[in-house]
Amino acid sequence: MTLVLSSVALVYLTVAIYMPSTRAFNSGINEVPVMCTTTRAVNKDACEWGSCGEWCLSKTSGACIQIYVNLRNNGSSLTLANCTNSANKTCYGIDQENSKKARCIADECKNLTGTFNCTAGACINITDAFECVFASTDPPLKCSGRRGKITCIEISGLFTCNRGTCRKIRTPYNCDRRCVDIPTRNKNIVLLSGDKVYLSQCQSAIDKATQTEVWNEEEDNVMMASCYNIQNTSVGVEAVDWTKKEI
């Protein structure tokens, strides 16, 4: 019995621990940590790679979720010099816990219009925060009328609704964060930090640690950066933990 258990344990540890660890060590992964900002998540039916799985034995097959991020090095600081015409915009996300919910059992779903995330008959309007692209839906459910609240009492999932008639959006679908009315006119700098977007017309961008210029207005393009923190100082606008992207 001891021999059998030892053999099983050896095989298990080889498959579950040794082989994945060896692949990880040989993959060239950099040991220096970095910071990621999620930009979008895509549900796909057929995947060559996936972002989420059940620990190290999982192998992507069939449907999966693919998460895309902006990558930035920790500790980098950027100073933007001689900035004018500055503006900022807050792109509000969805607070699932505190957002107003339309409860279908209370007949609050009879006039729903837009895109809604529903759980057990309670729906949150995500129209202003997300733009969803999809190919197909389930048959319509009429949440209005005499039996509307009974029909929709337990609806769950992502729905597109028009005046109380709701259709469940089928996978695959793609929902991207969106923010409207961002004042980009005459701006060459766009800084992203959490739910806020900072915009300005700047002359140059300097790496604070090395004091080297990494961008200037003569390049005739727009510089975008994802930042952990943004401060307006007497020297200039400082962005901490930034990733540069020119467009």
pLDDT over 70 (residue 107): yes
83 and 205 together in one domain: yes
- Which whole number is the average pLDDT over 36-51? 77
Using one digit for the tens of pLDDT, what is the confidence trace for 51-88?
665 555 555 567 788 888 877 666 678 888 888 998 98
- Which whole number is the average pLDDT over 36-44? 78
Say if 4 falls within a structural domain: no
Other CB atoms within 10 Å distance of the CB of residue 189: 23
Structural domain tally of the chain? 3
Report pLDDT for 39: 76
Q: What is the DSSP string of 15-50?
A: IIIIHHHHHHHTTT--SS-EEEEEEEEEEESS-S--
Say if 18 falls within a structural domain: no
Look up the domain containing 67 and give its range. 34-72
- The reported pTM is 0.53
Q: Which of 16-20, 66-70, 226-230 has the lowest mean pLDDT?
A: 16-20
Whole-angstrom distance, CA of residue 198 vs CA of residue 90: 9
- Which whole number is the average pLDDT over 120-139? 91
Whole-angstrom distance, CA of residue 68 vs CA of residue 245: 15
**3-class state of residue 202 by DSSP:** coil
